[in-house]
């Protein structure tokens, strides 16, 4: 089964992380047919050098250049236009795919052609992949995923593989900072797409203190309330679920960063 890999990189990414991410893609048991890399605005010389290193090896990477930074949602939508195959695997440019990641997901699609989104667990690490501090586990079957989505994001975005036509049928990614993927999954669930999560970690996800900082503060709170309100407008959650979700999230957004980090690493994993 032929498939594309879709990534987006911008100037704040670390060159060594990009190199590790691309290396993990080209060291898979099941190699992608193509890799589409969106340059979301001008990059640093160091990032360009990493990309050139892979291109010089003759590896099949299509570069999509955006004149200025558009944000993840818009960058991925542009990249999707350049994906030649219906099956698309997402990767982030600072994460590391395990060698059997694509193989396991392709098998799932082959054995269950009704599926349109296949995710997996992820190992969250700090510094080095040998230092796994937590595992983000998610429910397996469609009905469990649907219910889980009413409270939390049901798919680990950096390790997802989906059918392009199913994503495009609901309008693709929308510009919804912090929630581009969660918003997409809910729209697809409401549209009847079938979901599945492989019950095994297939990717190393890079943890950092910056991640916890981004998940706090007034701007994040405003976007989260807006997103929860959208779920209510969709009819995906009730008013009671809306209020409950907002209350729980407000507490986690206003507590100190160190406490938020502890909560994510321990209580939510």
Same domain flag for 107 and 216? no
Residue 50 has pLDDT above 80, yes or no: yes
Q: Give residues with Cβ within 8 angstroms of 89, minimum separation 6.
A: 3, 4, 5, 6, 32, 101, 102, 105, 160, 161
Angle at alpha carbon of residue 197, lines to 194 and 202, rounded to 5°: 140
Q: Give residues with Cβ within 8 angstroms of 134, minimum separation 6.
A: 124, 207, 264, 265, 266, 269
Note the pLDDT of residue 142. Answer: 98
Same domain flag for 70 and 121? yes
Note the pLDDT of residue 250. Answer: 83
Same domain flag for 229 and 121? no
Percent of the chain having pLDDT more than 70? 91
Q: Hey, what are 160's tokens?
A: 């997802």
Same domain flag for 195 and 219? no
Residue 66 has pLDDT above 70, yes or no: yes
The Cα 144–Cα 2 span in angstroms is 29
- Predicted confidence band at 248 (pLDDT cuts at 50, 70, 90)? confident
Q: Hey, what are 74's tokens?
A: 């818009």
Backbone angles phi, psi at 6, to 5 degrees: -120, 125
Question: What is the domain count for the chain?
Answer: 2
Residue 219 has pLDDT above 90, yes or no: no
Same domain flag for 135 and 264? no
Residue 264 has pLDDT above 90, yes or no: no
* Verdict on whether the full-model pTM lies above 0.85: yes
Same domain flag for 151 and 192? yes
Same domain flag for 196 and 258? no
Same domain flag for 221 and 170? no
Give residue 100's domain range.
Answer: 3-207
Average pLDDT over residues 9-24: 97
Same domain flag for 202 and 230? no
Residue 45 has pLDDT above 90, yes or no: yes
User: Do residues 181 and 91 touch, judged by C-beta distance below 8 A?
Assistant: no
């Amino acid at each position: 089964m032929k498939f594309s890999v879709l990534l987006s990189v911008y100037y704040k990414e670390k060159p060594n992380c990009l190199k590790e991410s691309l290396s993990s893609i080209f060291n898979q048991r099941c190699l992608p047919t193509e890799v589409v890399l969106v340059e979301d605005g001008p990059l640093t010389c160091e990032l360009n050098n990493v990309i050139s290193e892979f291109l010089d090896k003759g590896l099949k990477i299509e570069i999509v250049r955006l004149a200025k930074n558009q944000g993840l949602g818009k960058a991925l939508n542009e990249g999707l236009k350049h994906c030649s195959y219906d099956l698309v695997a997402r990767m982030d440019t600072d994460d590391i795919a395990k060698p059997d990641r694509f193989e396991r997901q392709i098998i799932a699609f082959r054995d269950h052609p009704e599926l349109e989104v296949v995710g997996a667990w992820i190992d969250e690490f700090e510094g080095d992949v040998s230092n796994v501090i937590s595992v983000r586990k998610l429910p397996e079957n469609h009905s469990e995923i649907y219910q889980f989505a009413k409270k939390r994001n049901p798919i680990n975005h950096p390790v997802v593989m989906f059918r392009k036509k199913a994503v495009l049928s609901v309008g693709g990614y929308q510009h919804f900072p912090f929630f581009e993927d969660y918003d997409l999954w809910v729209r697809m669930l409401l549209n009847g797409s079938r979901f599945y999560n492989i019950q095994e970690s297939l990717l190393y996800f890079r943890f950092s203190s910056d991640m916890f900082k981004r998940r706090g503060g007034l701007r994040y709170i405003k976007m989260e309330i807006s997103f929860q309100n959208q779920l209510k407008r969709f009819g995906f959650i009730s008013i009671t679920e809306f209020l409950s979700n907002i209350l729980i999230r407000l507490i986690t957004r206003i507590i100190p960063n160190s406490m938020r980090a502890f909560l994510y690493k321990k209580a939510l994993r």
